[in-house]
Amino acid sequence: MKSCSGILSLLLCALLFVVPAVAEQTEGEQLYQSCAACHGPQAQGIPALKSPALAGLNADYITRQLIHFKTRIRGNNDDPFAAQMLQSVKVLADEQAIKQVADYLATLDVPKIEPSLEGDAKRGQNLYNGSCGACHGASGQGNPALHAPRLANQHTDYLVRQLRAFKQGKRGTEQADKYGRQMAMMATSLNIEKDIPDILSYLQTRQEN
C-alpha cells in the first residue's frame, strides 16, 4: 500500500506541473482563432490572401513582429498588407497574449509549400550562401541566436514582397527595428528581378517535409 501511495503522490505532483503548460497552450490556440481566417487553420498561410505561413516560426521572432505591429514600428510605410495587420493585432490585448499565440505557433509543424518559382537553383544556392546563409542558416532554417527567421517552408510570393519592401524603404526603416534595418541594408545588394527567383528556387529545394 505504501508503494501505491507513493506512486499516486508522484503522479499528482507531475499533473501539477503539466496542467499549467497545457492551459497556456490552449489559451494560445484559442487566441489564434482570430488569425486563422487569414493565416489558415494550421497557420500554413494563404497565398490568395497574401498571408505568410506562421507555423513553426521561432516564438521570439513572431513575438517581436506582433509587438512591432502593435506599436506601429511596422506597417506604416505604404504597405497595404502590413497595414491590415495594424488592425488585426488589436485583438491581442497585451504582450502576454502575443507571447501565448507565438508559443502556440512555434509548436506547429512547418507546412509543405508548393513550388511556385522557376529559377536556377544552383546559382541561387551560391547567391544565398553569399548573402543570406550566414544569418538565416545554410538551408534557410533560421537562426534564433541571430534573430533571423526561417525562410524555407515559406510562400515565395510573401518572401518576394518582403524583399521589395525592405529594398523600397517600406520595411526596416524605424530606428527601433534593429534587425529590420539590418535586412534593409542586405536587401540593397540583391537584384529583385534577376537574383531573387534563383535564391527562392534554391530555398524551395530546402523545405522540411
| Residue stretches of the annotated binding site for heme c | 35, 38-39, 85, 132, 135-136, 183
DSSP lists the bridge partners of residue 18 as none
Angle at 179 between CA 175 and CA 181, to 5 degrees: 50
Q: Which residues line the annotated binding site?
A: 35, 38-39, 85, 132, 135-136, 183
Question: Whats the size of the chain, residue-wise?
Answer: 209
Question: Is the separation of the CB atoms in 140 and 53 below 8 Å?
Answer: no
